[in-house]
């Protein structure tokens, strides 16, 4: 049975009554503290959660009995449900056209992601061709379909990257398609979106050399930043971020510094794809950029922040420790390891470094072909050896910090924006009763 989606724009008054287990996190504003242990989890028993006009009105035992006109509320029997903050997928590529299923077959026969990308126009280039062939309106429909699939599994906030246009015009079309998805009357039926402009994802066929393509993107950046500001003012999306694929055979550290430095000057937050196939300086660059804007673990600007370094398979403990000291989140993407047969990150090393850990799906048509954050959580627990509290934090409060949305998302708190997921069970461990989240029963968005 599909999960019931509650849209607070329509269903303004909701009570989840008598849950055996409501889980959230405490002291999350101590940004230098890496949430990683059981003591950081706040677990409430036999609890009511009261939602009114889009915010948590009350969270506690017998709270529903204190409400006048309780008949005005939608009442949900939560006596066999665990409640937790709505999930956040902080690294996702939900907008593209075409299929690369043939690459799944090639990988099963021993070819690597890099070999496929270098042979016969495979990899990102193959998706670029298919994406360029469809209209902005079609891309918007594809995005909405993927976003609704994520929402049905509890994702209330979705980071959404461009990256398959590979020239300024086509990348702008992708960004416009994301914004178009939220311009209609049915926008509230989608998860909230944190868009990311990933123009420098791979080489562009229109430009000779990566430097020339990068320069064209930088020259168009004022227009992109202006689009982002306008969408934010309209309430369509969270502020726009920028990203780059810093990796061997893609963009260098020096090129990434040029792009992300320009993005920061235009007030964009930044992410860095890095250290997926080799140690190539992503953590060092994040540290350099953070120092340039005087960012620390306890001090960040309202916008123009260094938010994350993502993948990090080949990052050292020292690299991760550098991120921890500057308040930069490391994002683990275990589905990519599963589908592309590359190493999983080592939770023990990440834990020792003190870095704040987020976990995301990296859903995309080639290297992570499953639009299911729940499965990423399962792999993070079973294959990376992150603890249960680390996994919970990784897709709630730490993922909110990774998208710069921690004031609105990531915890269940009175007065905070109401978003939650309810799944069958009576204890936190029941989160892993299904590796794909098919025990989700209710989502509030």
Q: Where are the domains of the chain?
A: 4-84+411-444, 87-402
Indicate the range of 110-114, 297-301, 437-441 predicted with least confidence: 110-114
Is the separation of the CB atoms in 162 and 171 below 8 Å? yes
| Rounded alpha-carbon distances, angstroms, from residue 23 to 81, 113, 184 | 11, 38, 34
Confidence of residue 34 (pLDDT cuts 50, 70, 90): confident
The mean pLDDT value for 266-289 works out to 96
Residue-level pLDDT at 374: 98
pLDDT at 32 over 60: no
Quote the pLDDT of residue 299: 85
**What mean pLDDT is predicted for residues 45-63?**
96
pLDDT for 120 equals: 58
User: In percent, how much of the chain has pLDDT > 90?
Assistant: 84
Query: Do the bridges between strand 192-197 and strand 155-161 make them parallel or antiparallel, or are there none, so unpaired?
Result: parallel
Q: Determine whether 223 is exposed, middle or buried from the number of CB atoms within 10 Å of its CB (0-12, 13-18, 19+).
A: exposed
Contacts of 372 (CB under 8 A, 6+ apart): 153, 361, 363, 436, 437
pLDDT bucket at 37, cuts 50 / 70 / 90 = confident
CA distances from 314 to 274, 277, 373 (A): 9, 7, 23
Provide the CATH number for the domain formed by 4-84+411-444 in this structure.
2.30.40.10
**Alpha carbons 402 and 331: distance in angstroms, whole number:** 8
**If DSSP codes are grouped into helix, strand and coil, which group holds residue 242?**
strand
Cβ atoms 381, 433 nearer than 8 A: no
Give how far Cα 207 sits from Cα of 27, 202, 210, 219, Å. 49, 11, 7, 14
pTM of the model: 0.96
Res. 6: pLDDT tops 70: yes
Q: Which residues pair with 420 in a beta bridge?
A: 85, 444
E strands, 333-377, where? 357-359
Helix (H) or strand (E) holding 18: strand 13-19
Distances from the Cα of 232 to the Cαs of 38, 171, 193, 225, in angstroms?
36, 19, 11, 11
pLDDT one-digit tens code per residue, 333-349: 999 999 988 999 999 99
- pLDDT in the model for residue 118: 67
Residue 83, helix vs strand vs coil: strand
- Name the fold adopted by 87-402: TIM Barrel (3.20.20)
Buried b (16+ CB within 10 A) or exposed e, 236-267: bbbbbbbbbbbbeebbbeebbbbbbbbbbebb
Contact residues for 29 (Cβ-Cβ < 8 A; gap 6+): none
pLDDT > 70: percent of the chain: 97
Per-residue pLDDT tens over the stretch 395-441: 999 999 999 999 999 999 999 999 999 999 999 999 999 999 999 99
* Secondary structure in 3-state letters for 195-225: EEECCCCCCCCCCCCHHHHHHHHHHHHHHHH
Mean residue pLDDT across the chain? 94
- Residue 1 confidence (pLDDT) above 70: no
What are residue 421's phi and psi, to 5 degrees? Answer: -130, 140
pLDDT by residue (tens digit) across 241-276? 999 999 999 999 999 999 999 999 999 999 999 999
Cβ atoms of 124 and 56 within 8 Å: the answer is no
At residue 134 the predicted structure's pLDDT band, cuts being 50, 70 and 90, is very high
Q: What is the pLDDT of residues 223-238, one digit of tens each?
A: 999 999 999 999 999 9
Given a contact cutoff of 8 angstroms between Cβ atoms, the answer to whether 386 and 357 are in contact is yes
Mean pLDDT over 51-78 rounds to: 94
In terms of phi and psi (left: phi > 0; alpha: psi -120 to 50; beta: otherwise), the region of 339 is: alpha
β strands within 69-191, DSSP E: 74-77, 81-85, 87-89, 155-161
The three-state secondary structure class of 15 is strand
Q: One fold for both 4-84+411-444 and 87-402? A: no
3-state secondary structure 369-414: CCCCHHHHHHHHHHCCCCCHHHHHHHCCHHHHHHCCCCCCCCCCCC
User: To the nearest 5 percent, what fractions of the chain are helix, strand and coil?
Assistant: 40, 20, 40
The model's confidence at residue 31, banded by pLDDT at 50, 70 and 90, is low
Pairwise CA distance, residues 14 & 267, whole Å: 38
């Amino acid at each position: 049975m599909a999960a019931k989606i509650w849209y607070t724009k329509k269903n303004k008054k909701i009570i989840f009554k008598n849950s055996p287990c409501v889980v959230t996190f405490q002291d999350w504003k101590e940004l230098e503290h890496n949430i990683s242990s059981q003591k950081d989890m706040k677990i409430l028993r036999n609890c009511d959660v009261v939602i009114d006009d889009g915010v948590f009105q009350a969270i506690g035992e017998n709270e529903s009995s204190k409400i006048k006109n309780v008949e005005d509320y939608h009442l949900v029997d939560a006596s066999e449900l665990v409640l937790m903050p709505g999930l956040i997928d902080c690294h996702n590529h939900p907008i593209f056209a075409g299929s690369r299923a043939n690459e799944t077959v090639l990988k099963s026969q021993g070819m690597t992601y890099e070999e496929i990308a270098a042979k016969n126009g495979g990899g990102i280039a193959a998706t670029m061709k298919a994406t360029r062939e469809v209209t902005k309106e079609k891309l918007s429909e594809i995005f909405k379909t993927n976003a609704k699939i994520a929402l049905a599994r509890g994702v209330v906030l979705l980071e959404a990257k461009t990256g398959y246009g590979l020239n300024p015009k086509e990348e702008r079309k992708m960004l416009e398609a994301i914004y178009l998805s939220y311009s209609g009357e049915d926008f509230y039926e989608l998860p909230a979106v944190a868009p990311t402009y990933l123009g420098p994802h791979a080489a562009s066929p229109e430009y000779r050399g990566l430097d020339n393509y990068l320069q064209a993107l930088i020259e168009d950046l004022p227009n992109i930043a202006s689009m982002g500001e306008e969408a934010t003012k309209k309430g369509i999306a969270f502020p726009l971020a920028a990203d780059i694929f810093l990796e061997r055979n893609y963009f260098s550290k020096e090129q990434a510094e040029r792009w992300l430095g320009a993005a920061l000057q235009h007030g964009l937050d930044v992410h860095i794809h890095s250290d997926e196939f080799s140690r190539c300086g992503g953590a060092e660059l994040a540290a350099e950029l953070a120092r340039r804007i005087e960012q620390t673990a306890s001090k960040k600007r309202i916008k123009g922040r260094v938010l994350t370094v993502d993948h990090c398979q080949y990052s050292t403990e020292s690299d991760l420790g550098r991120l921890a000291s500057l308040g930069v989140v490391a994002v683990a993407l275990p589905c990519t390891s599963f589908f592309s047969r590359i190493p999983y990150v080592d939770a023990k090393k990440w834990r020792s470094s003190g870095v704040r850990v987020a976990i995301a799906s990296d859903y995309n048509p080639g290297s992570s072909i499953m639009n299911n954050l729940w499965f990423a959580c399962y792999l993070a627990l079973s294959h990376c050896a992150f603890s249960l509290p680390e996994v919970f934090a990784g897709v709630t409060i730490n993922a909110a910090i990774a998208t710069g949305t921690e004031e609105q998302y990531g915890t269940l708190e009175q007065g905070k924006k109401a978003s939650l997921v309810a799944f069958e069970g009576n204890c936190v461990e029941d989160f892993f009763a299904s590796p794909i989240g098919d025990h989700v029963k209710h989502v509030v968005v």
